Structure formats: structure tokens, C-alpha cells
Amino acid sequence: MRFSGVSAIVFACMAMAGCSSSSGLGDLLAQARPPSKETTSSVARPNSPVPEATIPSVAANDEPPQRTEPQEVLAWAGPVPQAPVPQMTTVGMPIPAEKPLAMLAPSRPMARATPGQRSRIYSRQFRDAKPINFGRGSPKALAVHGVDVSRWQGDIDWAKLRTQGANFAYIKATDGGDHLDPMFRANWRGAQEAGLKRGAYHFFYWCRTAGEQADWFIRNVPREPNALPPVIDVEYNGESSCKRRLSPEKIREKMQVFMDKLERHYGQRPIIYTAPDFYRDNLQGAFLNYPFWLRAVAEHPSKVYPGRRWVFWQYSGSGLSHGVEGKIDLNVFHGTEDQWHDWADARSS
């Protein structure tokens, strides 16, 4: 094919732009892979308006220059401690076997917040807009169900949601190094008032340093004795302004820095939440001493993540329930009701 003069100039400019890119062939191939459709509700798109909150764009460098604090102080749990937490015993969370077995107790279990009393477990009353037949491995066979929420669920009637079977809730707190979910405060308090066990999760942003992100989470999420372990949410997100695809080694390195800092502060080993494609590319065979929360909405986790032990299973992203408008993520604990109480009580002080 012959090119006109204008076409030749345009073609030459495009070629020069491609050559100036700093991405290697591996990065280009990685970026070509479409992101997973199995994303958590933190990146879902709602059907109704919600409070606006966006993550400012940052430089593409892995270690961006020092940033000044935003004028609006979003933190509500006090400043980041500058000294190590004194004499705090770190308790790594036990990981159940593939079949629910008695949970291993910590070597020095912490006392319950209310000795002799255990919260009521409500049976699962959720519906599903896209029900899946999991066969003999159905999550319905497990006793303790819960939800995870973010700003996209809007105002939640927590008392009503609990009676529908939400015995625990993981609540979106932060992502990146400067974004606080605008509904976190309300959800954190509402879940506690309704009697749910609750924990906070952080959506990891690959264009910010791990230390910055850990400090931001610590600044915004209270260290409370009855809270569930913190969660690091690692997955591919096509909606994010950060399009970087790091090597598996770099991803695991950044995760380790973040998790170590949270474990020192909260005294509990963080839980790793992930989706199938991200796990396949980066986490197979890694972090064997860490608890996992696995997303598997079409098949049982044993088929999607062969050989990986897990504590929580996110089995639906299309749950329906009284107490919340629209869809909500549904989860289940890997164990019996008694095992749930033992596990949760061991995390109280």
C-alpha cells in the first residue's frame, strides 16, 4: 500500500511515540490482558448516585516523590503512631483445612471481650439475582454468612441486614494513599451498633508505595479490640487510573511491606482478598502462612484455587437483601458456628 505525504507523517509520529515508551515487551503483553470481571463491590458501578470521591492521578513511577498532606483532613482515628506498639503480641490467624475442621487456637489466646457470651448467629436469608448451583459444595451448607460493603451500597439499614444473615461485614475503608471511602465512618459505626463482627479492607493501588498506603490505612481505621483482622484487597481493576502491571516478584514485595506494617500496628495477621486471574498470575504458592479470602462466584474455591486453604469465600456479587438497595457481595466463613466463635473470640482482647 502506498502512503500519501500526510499519511506518512502521521505514521512516523505514531512510530516515534511507540518507541519513546518506557514499557518493555513484557509490560505491553501484560497490559493487553483484559482485567478480571470478577471484581469486588469496591469497583462496581451503582444504579443510583453516591457521594463523589476520586483518587487523584499520580506519577507512573513506583516510588513517587514526597507528597504534601491534603488540606482537608480525612483521618478520624488520630495520627499515625511514630513509635512501635509496645509489647503487643502478634497473633497470626490460623488457616482452616480444605474441609471445615476445628480451628487451631493461638499459643496465647486473647480473652473475650464479654466472657461467656456469644453473639447470635442468624441464618442465611439472602436472595441472589444470578443464583449459581454449586452442587454439594454449596455455601448454603456453611453456617456463618456475611457481607462486604463500600460506598456503592449507599445508606444501609444494618439492623435489618443482620437479621437477613449478615453475621459479619468487611467494610471498605481506604484505597491508595489518600482516598477514604465516604461511607466508611457510617458503615463502621452502623455495623457495630447492629451487633455484627466487622473488619476493614484496603484496596491496594499499584502506583503508590506500600508504606504510604499502610500509613493511610492506619491513620483512618481504628485499632479496636473486637474488630476482625484487616484485609488487603489485591486484584486487577480496569476502572483504576493506574494501569501498571508489575512483575509477580514486585507485587509480592509490595504486599509484604504493607502487611508487615499492619500486623505490627493491629497485632493481627492481615487477610489477603483476591480474584482468580490475579491469583493465577501472582499468588500461586505464595504467602502460605497468611489467611485468604477468595472470590469464586461460578465454582467452588477448591476448583478455582486448587490447593489453597481459605477462611472466607465470596460466593456472589449479586446478592439481594432487605436492608440494602441494589446488589451486595455475599460471603461465608469456612467452618462451623462453634469454630466461628472460637476464631472470632481469639481476635478479641
Q: Which residues are catalytic?
A: 235
What is the enclosing helix (H) or strand (E) of 344?
helix 337-345
Q: Which of 62, 103, 33, 65 is nearest to 249 (CA)?
A: 62
CA of residue 225 relative to chain centroid, distance: 20
Strand positions, DSSP E, the chain: 127-128, 145-149, 168-175, 179-180, 197-203, 231-234, 271-274, 292-295, 312-320, 328-333
3-state SS assignment for residue 105: coil
| Contact predicate 247/217, CB 8 Å | no
- In angstroms, what CA-CA distances link 302 with 56, 271, 314? 38, 18, 13
Q: Residue 306 burial by CB count (10 A; 0-12/13-18/19+): exposed, middle or buried?
A: exposed
CB 261 within 8 A of CB 82: no
The burial class, CB within 10 Å (0-12 / 13-18 / 19+), for 131 is exposed
